[in-house]
Structure 1
Amino acid sequence: MAHLFKRGKRYHLKYSLGGKQKEVALRTDSLQLAKEKKRQFESALALGNENPFPTQTPIAEVLTAYVAAIRARKSAKSAQTDIYYLREIFGSVCDAVTITSRKTTGRKRPSKISQVDKRKRLPIIEATCFEAITPAQIAAFIEFKVRDQGLKPKTANHYRSILRRVFNWAIEEKGLRIPNCNGGRHGNNPAAKVRPYKEQAPTIRYLSMSQIDEQLHVLRFNPRLQTMAAVLIYAGLRREELLWLTTDDIILSRLTSTRPSMIRVQAKTINGQYWQPKTKRNRAVPISQALRQHLDRYTSLENEHGLYFPSPKGELWDPDNFSADLRKANKAANLQWACLDYRHTFGSQLAQKGVSLYKISILMGNSPEICRKHYASLIPEALVDEVEFGDSQNSDISLHRA
């Protein structure tokens, strides 16, 4: 049995569990409310449940612990992406989600005074504690992002997914108890109770054969960028997979040899930094004759890390810097193709050739379901024979009589 007592002006509950005396703050000075909470608490103990009262944990405390957890389990880039979304949602509420400041020279620069600081006007989710965040707050925040900032449904759903993961972790790992979210189809997670946006069918861009020739011709005066674009187009690699290639990953067999030439996309450590493919699975992509011509003409610059495509400084190329250099080279020719378009070109051209989606998924390091979403509509005449049934001759007669 539990009994009530007052400490100051507020009621507390004292009970015994496992031979130990424990106390719970009821956070009320009303005797009627205290008695009702006492009844709920005793009912929960009788059913073998834990403390039914919601916890009150500062948002900063939850985010600090969550960021530490994802940094231990995810890659640095993946964790940093999640931290960006957390900062957009909650603001710089703690050091864990605050942008690391750069070193300054010590000289103060004159501050630019603007009439409207748009950054400060952006809404964030605020509450007295993490448990006080409601589905209505989450829905209103995402709705603003969609309505006023033009977020696509897929990105809006990603915000919802980030919050759902944080709440699940907080409930399971930190033992948070959320009020007014008991049971139901979505459990105790308020983010899961927010209705997701309906996403549009995926659309992709890819190059035709004439556009491939045009793209590679535009880059003819920059052999390194030309060869890198050729690898993306003819091997379907992701951008980071391309930049992390080493000389050991490119296997160029003799033309008279029966051993195929291959590009190995595999995990590796360079300069103390570990990297692995996005799907955490190594794979090998055969080198086509068209790609072999580019690789035979290319000579990799010597560098201490053995990179096949080092940056102009002989180091690992930053992905954003590589994309910027590629855009700059294409700008003069008014071309706007991106690395993802090159990768989709590989999958799309194979699909139009009649290669099975399963084989395409193996070559590209994707799941068959992803390849089906992107390339199923491009497979020529794949299902023509599947729609025929019955006696075709009788069908012709029926159509003639009609």
Structure 2
Amino acid sequence: MNVRLAFSVKFRTVETHLRPENVKRIRFPIVVKRGSAAVRIYRDRKPEGTYYRVTYYLGKKRHRLNFSDLHEATNEAEAKACQLSRGDVDAMQLNGDDRLTYGRAVDAVKEFNLPLDTVAREYSEARRLLDGLSLLDAARFYARHRGRGITRKAVAEAVSEIIDRKRRKGVSDVYVRDLCYRLGVFKERFHCDVSALVPDDIARFFDGLELSARSYNNFRRTLRTFFAFAQRHEWLSKEVDLLCKVEKRNERRVPTDIFTPSELAKLLKNSSAEVTPCLALAAFAGLRSAEILRLDWSDVERRPGFIEVAAHKAKTAARRIVPISENLSRWLAIASRNGERIWPRSKDSFFKAMRRAADTAGITWKQNALRHSFISYRLAEIQDVNRLALEAGNSPQIIFRHYRELATPQQAKTWFAIAPEAAPNVVPIAVAGPQAMKRNDHVIEAKAGGGRSASGAVVRQESKLRNPL
């Protein structure tokens, strides 16, 4: 207790005085001091027993408290001395349990230097907001999720940073555009700090998205990437799973649409001169529409016999080369060139030209069906999923799951025989050699056959479609 006894030299502490063997030897009054405040304990011996009287002054008025036990008297004297030294005059007027409660409350908030009524008011308001929940549990939750170590970062700023980081890492433009779209929708909904987000907010956000199961899952995957990025930068606690209430949806298997060889022949026959090479690249090389839109003629000519899809032009941000088949070589040879790009116009005009060719041919346009057709017929031709995965830029699992047994080898032979009739003054584009087109060797290892004119020029001439059907 660190209580000083004004009269005692032999006994240093109250505890020493209170030992049974020492009580009879204590000299009264005992003086308990705290700073300049002093409280005295007197002993009164009466026929009915011994009593201990605690006395102190408030101003000029003397106060007395009687106890039958020296321990209780000493504890009360120390409490009064502490209150007098702090100037807690109001507390001195309290009696019994109220006085003890007040003293404990003052001691509990002493380190924060706040008035007791302020603390009580804040506590009351907090409990009212929590609707009966524990204030301590709420404070612990806040400290764990938004307290020490968590930096405030607005959702919009965090979105900008992850997009910039992905661009610097060299991911594909397609991925960046997808990220901008999905995270753009997200940041428009939440104008707050990342650390302020809670699972219920995210669940309500997803409930408002009217998307197919696949798009819904893609959105969910994008946000998981974003939240993990925020956690690594300490904008969001690692203990928080904001997607815990957002379940992955079951994606319904949709049949893979492909064109028949006869449909493709009609499509090519009725297409404009500008869009014909684009149709051929999708049908006989399996290039995606986005890849065709970014493709230059130099990508076709740089590596004789192969089309080089650079990393920044591919969907997966991985460079790949695709062998040029003999019939594709003929379609590219008769193509008209209007600038460096395979398709020199806008994205919208590209898809309109594709659909216009289908309408003219009297067939139904099927989205992505040219690429699906290439993968299906190419798999039937070479019977090698891993090799086809390299050519198409897909995973073997996707190819095996969606394209197996969609076409027969005979149909594949017919598909890759569709070509324009050769013209005498047209130099074909170099084609991949037999190893690349037939054997199960790695495409990169194969050598291209064929050749071009010394100048590398290609002469465009109207020609009839050679239809093997």
| Bucket of the pairwise TM-score, normalised by the shorter protein | 0.5 to 0.7
Q: CA deviation at 1:169?
A: 2.1
Work out which of the residue numbers 72, 81, 89 in structure 1 matches 2:165.
72
The 8 Å contact of residues 164 and 189 in structure 1, kept in 2 or not, is answered as: no
Per-residue CA deviation, residues 24-75 of structure 1 (Å, 9 max, x unaligned), is x999767x9998369959xxxxxxxx95353599998123123222223235
Per the alignment, residue 214 of structure 2 pairs with 154
Name the SS of the counterpart of 1:206 in structure 2. Answer: coil
Of residues 199, 224, 232, the one that matches 1:135 is 199
Does 1:63 pair with 2:156? yes
Written as runs of structure 1 = structure 2, the 5 A alignment for 1:131-280 is 131-145=195-209, 149=210, 151-177=211-237, 182=239, 188-219=240-271, 222-251=272-301, 261-267=305-311, 275-280=312-317
User: Residues 10, 263 of structure 1: CA spacing in aligned structure 2 closer, same or farther, 3 A cutoff?
Assistant: farther
Secondary structure of the residue aligned to 1:91 is: helix
RMSD of aligned alpha carbons: 4.1
1:331-346 equivalences under 5 Å are 331-338=359-366, 340-346=368-374
Change (3 A) 1:341 1:59: farther
Secondary structure class of the residue paired with 2:372? helix
1:10 and 1:359 mapped to 2: Cα distance?
Answer: 74
Change (3 A) 1:218 1:252: farther
CA distance in 2, matches of 1:296, 1:280: 28
Contact 1:351 1:378 in 2 (8 A): no
Are positions 1:366 and 2:416 aligned together? no
Aligned to 2:330: 293
2:136 paired with 1:36: yes
What letter matches 1:241 in structure 2?
E
Q: Which amino acid aligns with 1:209?
A: P
CA distance in 2, matches of 1:130, 1:36: 23
| Residues 176-231 of structure 1, C-alpha deviations (whole Å, 9 max, x = no match) | 238xxx5xxxxx21214422111112432111111111111111xx2221121011
What's the secondary structure of 2:154's corresponding residue? helix
2:404 counterpart SS class: helix
Change (3 A) 1:216 1:173: same
Change beyond 3 A, Cα 1:351–1:4:
farther
| CA spacing shift, 1:92–1:61, aligned 2, 3 Å | same
Structure of larger gyration radius: 2
Q: Is 1:236–1:346's contact at 8 Å kept on the other side of the alignment?
A: yes
Relative distance call for 1:89 and 1:175 in structure 2 (3 A) is closer
Q: Find the counterpart in structure 2 of residue 357 from structure 1.
A: 385
Aligned residues between the structures: 292
1:125-153 CA-to-partner distances (Å, cap 9, x unmatched) read: xxx754454434433432343xxx3x211
* Pair 1:344–1:234, CA change in 2 (3 A): same
Partner of 2:403: 375
**Partner secondary structure for residue 263 of structure 1:** strand
Amino acid at match of 1:251: E
Cα distance change of structure 1 residues 336 and 64 upon mapping to structure 2, 3 Å threshold:
farther
Provide the C-alpha distance between the structure 2 equivalents of 1:162 and 1:51, rounded to a whole number of angstroms. Answer: 27
Runs (5+) with no aligned partner, structure 2: 1-108, 410-469
CA displacement at 1:266 relative to structure 2: 2.0
* Residue 82 (structure 1) aligned with residue 179 (structure 2): yes
**1:205/1:240 Cα in 2 relative to 1: closer, same or farther (>3 Å)?**
same
TM-score (norm 1): 0.60
Query: Secondary structure at 1:284's aligned position in 2?
Result: strand
Q: Alignment partner of 2:373: what SS?
A: helix
Query: 1:138–1:191: 8 Å Cα contact kept in structure 2?
Result: yes
Distance 1:169 1:232, change over 3 A: same
Q: CA deviation at 1:346?
A: 0.5
Shift of 1:261: 2.1
Alignment TM-score, normalising by the size of structure 2: 0.53
Identity of aligned pairs, percent? 23
